[in-house]
Structure formats: structure tokens, C-alpha cells
Chains A and B, each alone.
Chain A
Amino acid sequence: MEKLEKGEVHPKIIQALLDANTDISVDDALENEMILNMGPQHPATHGVLRLLLRLDGETIVACVPDLGYLHRGYEKMAENMSYYEYIPHTDRLDYISPMANNVAWVLAVEKLAGIEVPVRAQYIRMMIAELARIASHLVAIGAFAMDVGALTVFLWTLREREKILDIWDILCGARFTNSYTRIGGVANDAQPEALAKVKWFIDQFEENLDECERLLNSNRIFIERLEGIGVMPKDEALDYGFTGPNLRACGYEFDIRRANPYLKYNDIDFKIPVYTEGDCLARYFVRADEARESSKIVRQVLEKMPQGEILANQPKKVLPKKTEIYSRMEELIHDFMIVNFGINPPVGEIYHSIEGSKGELGFYLVSKGEGHPWKCKIRSPSFCNLQALPRIVTGYMVSDIVAIIGSIDPIMGEADK
């Protein structure tokens, strides 16, 4: 065997290129296992995920994920700030659907402090959580399709998402990092023009989603690149900690909105899409169906939303409205006490989780009766879903890993906390 100079291409490879021969085999260099570093700066890793791959030819033999490039220590920060101050930080966890994180945080704090929330505020929260789910799934589907080469879908889904961001703009003045919920309710009432825009959005959404789906469901390249790729067997899915759409693509009908209903999900009629294949294609189908179900939930929420208060009447725990602070003594005192010393929930610990767009988003809070939590643990769905990545990429090709990461839909802001 003659030795090749550095940078020189093996003559067999050139010959194979000329012959358009796709199953070339070379009995040296290429047959050895090699290590490939993927990320943290890689467009298909959806942020700053780094993977170390051991390859045999093009087949993945082993995969080791490396996290922590976006670690900001949010759990440490939570221990040093009041429950109110932490709301804006939850925006930065899963930055694709910040509204859902806001809802999850305030629900956990309200459970800890024992605050009853007015019905209208609960309906508004349900509406924004479902819109956040649609927004998140639109990015997931679009980015996923872009990863496997269907660029147009990404533009079309982002066009839909843009409309949701416009709704959030009217609702709370911010498009991206919303911080819209407050402990005991929401920051301000949903204005009629915001609700009208939501109605307009869901009226046209399903048709537009159908349009996007037609681009994908009859696209042979898309289907063939995903069908039977990254299969998670049903009996291992729970063991690896899958939740959310990824778990439902494996055949489990598990949805926290149905299993442990929070807010007013008991009064809403919705289906849980379940697929049994557990591959990338099933995960995509679950997301598309869920977006459709979410728009149905939003429609019911708009119909059922009552008039009324949007903040709980518990002056020691809930911040008063700004106009009242400037005109009334009691409210000024309460505002001063809450801002300076916090809401002091009773000694105890709770865990509360919601069905976030990626899976089960939970907060474990321990209170010692002080204004700030003694301990705050974020149970982030992306972290747990990523854990199964080595299991489902092993045995597939390098080009499949891009599709598999896209189908798991990790958000590194959440996985790295």
C-alpha cells in the first residue's frame, strides 16, 4: 500500500467520483474509527449543544453530549431574589415560549403561598400558554424541516409565529421576553383588540398550517429522511425520562393537562395526539397535531372567558395596581413591603409542573418563610429529553443526527439553565 501525502485524495475516491460509484470501499484510513466534534457552534444543534461522535465510516458508534455552554446559574440566582423578581428570568429558560414559563413559575409560587387566582386570569393564562405552545411548535417544525433541507417551511412557519408575537406585543408590550404573568394574576387585562387579534389568528391558522404540512407530508425526501430514523422503543422511553411530544410519539398518552389538570383545563375539550412509531416522523406529526389542538383550546378559551378581576385580592401577597399605589396609603404600604421583603410564603416545599411545549416543566420550591426561596429547582424538559440522545442516535448516520436533534427539539437555554 503506497502512503498518501498529507492533503492528497485517495485515487480510489477520485475514481469513484468519476464513475459515480456510491458504494466505494477503501481498505485503509477510512475504515478506522474516528472522532468528530459537532458544535457548540453548529447550525443544526439549535444553540450551543456540543456532541462528540465516534464514527465508523458514516455510522455513529457512540455519542457523548456536552452541556453547559449557556449555564447562567439560574437556580443560584433564584435563591437570592424575591419571587417577583424571578419572573423575568423565567423568560430566558425556554426562550421560544417564554409565556409558558411565566405561567409555570407563578403557578408554583401560588401553590406554595396559597393564592387563589380569579377565573378570568386563569383563562388568560391558558390562552397565552397555548399560544406559546403553537409558537414553539411552529419553530420546532420549521427548524426541523430546514435541518433536513426544506427551507420554505421555515419561512412559512415563522410568518405564522410572527403573528403570535404581534399578539403578545398588544397584550403586554413585549414581543419576545414577555414577563406577562404576575403572582396572583396577570400584569394587565387582555384588551378587546388583543382578543380580536387572537380570534383572527386562530381563524386563519389551521388553513396556513395545512399549507405548511402539504409541503412536507407529500415530500418524498422529507419522509424518507425521517421515517424509521431515531427510533425510541416504547419500553425505554420512560426509562430515559422522555416527556411531552417526544413521549407521545412513542405511544404513551401522557399529558399533564389531562393527568393533573391545572388552571381550567378540566373545562376544556381537547384530544391528545399519540403516535406509536417513536421515530423522527412521528415526533413531527405529534407536534403538528398538537398545534392544531392548541388552536382549538384557544377557541374554546375565547368563548368561555368570563369578565372580572385579573388579580387576586390578597394584599399581603399580591402587588397592587400602579394607579392605586400612587393614590392610596394602604396600597403604598403593601407595595413597599412586598418589593422590599417579598411575599414570605409559609415554611414548606412544593413541586408543580405544567405541560410545557417541550414536555414537563416543573419547579420545585423550598421555602423557609422568607422573601426568597431557600431552594429552587427547575425540572426542564429539554435537559431530560437530551439525555436520551446517545440512545437514539447510535447506529444511524452522521446526516441523520441533524434530523434527530431537530426532532427532539431541545432549547439550550432551558437545558443549561
Chain B
Amino acid sequence: MDFREILIRKVQEKFPGESLTFSDYKNECVLQIDKKNIVAVCNFLKNDPELLFELCEDITAIDWAKRKNRFTVVYHIYSLKNNFRLRIKTDLDESDCSVDSVTSVWKSANWFERESWDMYGIKFNNHPDLRRIYLPEDFEYHPLRKDFPLMGIPGSLSLPKK
């Protein structure tokens, strides 16, 4: 039995009745989950002695612009023991643009989530320090959203006073 099957069986046994969808594209394993389960699933994946997804490689978001659930938050996690990368995806609606923070699971999630907040305006609940990471704190927009123009918005960045 290869690791992918073990992973699917273990996750489905641990979270029965929840909506968990596994899929594959170009040999990359994707797990689609409901946003209310994110912390529980991540905790299980990291701490289960057989799975051990210890490295959180990346957290980002996708703006689908016109879709019903406008945003998708994407987590890339990696298990050194099993040499396996898993992508977790969870959909958010624009009206409730928030998801629980996984900083309690991986400390490296801290800056990744700050970046997603800066770029997409996604709020991470229980994040210890949710500030913008690249842009100044008084900037009003979230530039990687599809409705933000490529040339920027004139006057949106305050210049230093003379």
C-alpha cells in the first residue's frame, strides 16, 4: 500500500462524515476541505506519527474573481519522513472572508498568513500578529485581488511629507 492510500484512509477514518475530497493532478495530491475543519485537519496531519507533515512550505490564496466562493486558500505541506507533498484547499466566500489561523500548528504559517492578508484581504482568526507584511499599514487595498488594476491606484500610497 503506498503512502497516498494510507493518508486517505487515515484522514477519512479520523474525520468521518466531513466533506473531504481527495484528487490528483500531475501526480500532486490535493485535499479539499471545509474551512471550519482546517485547524483540526492540519493538527492531525502534523502530529500523527505515521503522517508527520512537519514542514509548512507555503500558504497562499487564489482570487477566482467571478466564482460564487470567490477565494480559495491553498496550503502546501510536506512530510519529510514519507517524502510526500500535500496541497490543502479550502474555499471562502467574499461575504465572510476569514479562516482560522494555523499558526498554532506551524510557526512558519505566521508570515505566510500575513502575506495573504496583505495581498488578498483574507482575515485569519486567532492570528497573533495580523499586520501587513509588504505594504504600509495605511494602504487601503489588497493588490493581488483581480479588481485591483495592474498600474495601481493613483494617490493610494501616501508620500512622505515635505
Residue ranges of A at the interface with B (Cβ–Cβ < 8 Å): 67-68, 71, 73, 75-77, 79-80, 111-112, 236, 238-241, 243, 252, 254, 259-260, 348-351, 353, 360, 362, 364, 366, 374-375, 377, 379, 383-384, 387-388, 416-417
Q: Are B57 and A360 in contact (CB under 8 A)?
A: yes
Q: Are A239 and B25 in contact (CB under 8 A)?
A: no
Q: Are B56 and A241 in contact (CB under 8 A)?
A: yes
Sample (24) of A-B pairs whose CB atoms are under 8 Å apart: A67-B133, A67-B134, A77-B150, A112-B26, A238-B54, A238-B55, A238-B80, A240-B107, A241-B57, A243-B55, A252-B80, A254-B80, A349-B25, A351-B76, A362-B76, A377-B58, A377-B60, A377-B74, A379-B57, A379-B76, A383-B111, A387-B110, A388-B108, A416-B134
Residue ranges of B at the interface with A (Cβ–Cβ < 8 Å): 25-26, 28, 54-58, 60, 62-63, 74, 76, 80, 83, 85, 87, 106-108, 110-111, 119, 132-136, 143-144, 148, 150
- Minimum distance in angstroms from A52 CB to a CB of chain B: 13
- Chain A residues with CB under 8 Å of B55's CB are 238, 241, 243
- Minimum distance in angstroms from B162 CB to a CB of chain A: 21
Output the nearest chain A residue to B63 by Cβ-Cβ distance.
A375
Known: A364-B58, A375-B63. 7 other contacts (CB 8 A): A71-B134, A236-B107, A260-B83, A351-B76, A362-B58, A377-B60, A387-B107
Output the nearest chain B residue to A112 by Cβ-Cβ distance.
B26
- Chain A residues with CB under 8 Å of B25's CB are 348-350
Q: Are A348 and B83 in contact (CB under 8 A)?
A: no
Our pick among B26, B62, B83, B136 for the contact of A374 (Cβ within 8 Å) is: B62
Q: Are A350 and B54 in contact (CB under 8 A)?
A: no
Q: Are B58 and A379 in contact (CB under 8 A)?
A: yes
- Chain A residues with CB under 8 Å of B80's CB are 238, 252, 254, 259
Q: Are A239 and B60 in contact (CB under 8 A)?
A: no
Q: Are B108 and A384 in contact (CB under 8 A)?
A: yes
A111–B25 Cα distance when bound, in Å, is 11
Q: A111-B26, A252-B80 are in contact. Are A75 and B144 (CB under 8 A)?
A: yes
- Chain A residues with CB under 8 Å of B135's CB are 68, 71
Output the nearest chain A residue to B129 by Cβ-Cβ distance.
A64
Q: Are A351 and B28 in contact (CB under 8 A)?
A: yes
Q: Are A350 and B58 in contact (CB under 8 A)?
A: no
- Chain B residues with CB under 8 Å of A416's CB are 134
A65–B144 Cα distance when bound, in Å, is 23
Q: A68-B134, A377-B58 are in contact. Are A76 and B144 (CB under 8 A)?
A: yes
A259–B57 Cα distance when bound, in Å, is 15
A272–B8 Cα distance when bound, in Å, is 32
Our pick among A73, A75, A364, A383 for the contact of B76 (Cβ within 8 Å) is: A364
- Chain A residues with CB under 8 Å of B58's CB are 351, 362, 364, 377, 379
Output the nearest chain B residue to A387 by Cβ-Cβ distance.
B111
- Chain A residues with CB under 8 Å of B108's CB are 239-241, 384, 387-388
A243–B80 Cα distance when bound, in Å, is 11
- Chain B residues with CB under 8 Å of A80's CB are 150
- Chain B residues with CB under 8 Å of A360's CB are 57
- Minimum distance in angstroms from B122 CB to a CB of chain A: 14
Q: A239-B106, A239-B107, A364-B60 are in contact. Are A350 and B134 (CB under 8 A)?
A: no
Output the nearest chain B residue to A66 by Cβ-Cβ distance.
B133
Output the nearest chain A residue to B111 by Cβ-Cβ distance.
A387
Of listed A236, A239, A416, residue having the most chain B CB within 10 A: A239
- Minimum distance in angstroms from A253 CB to a CB of chain B: 9
The 9 A-B residue pairs with the shortest CB-CB distance, nearest first, are A241-B108, A68-B134, A71-B134, A377-B60, A379-B58, A238-B54, A387-B111, A239-B107, A375-B62
- Minimum distance in angstroms from B28 CB to a CB of chain A: 6
- Minimum distance in angstroms from B52 CB to a CB of chain A: 10
- Chain B residues with CB under 8 Å of A112's CB are 26
- Chain A residues with CB under 8 Å of B148's CB are 76
A384–B60 Cα distance when bound, in Å, is 13
- Minimum distance in angstroms from B129 CB to a CB of chain A: 9
- Minimum distance in angstroms from A127 CB to a CB of chain B: 26
- Chain B residues with CB under 8 Å of A375's CB are 60, 62-63
Output the nearest chain B residue to A241 by Cβ-Cβ distance.
B108
A259–B25 Cα distance when bound, in Å, is 20
- Chain B residues with CB under 8 Å of A417's CB are 134
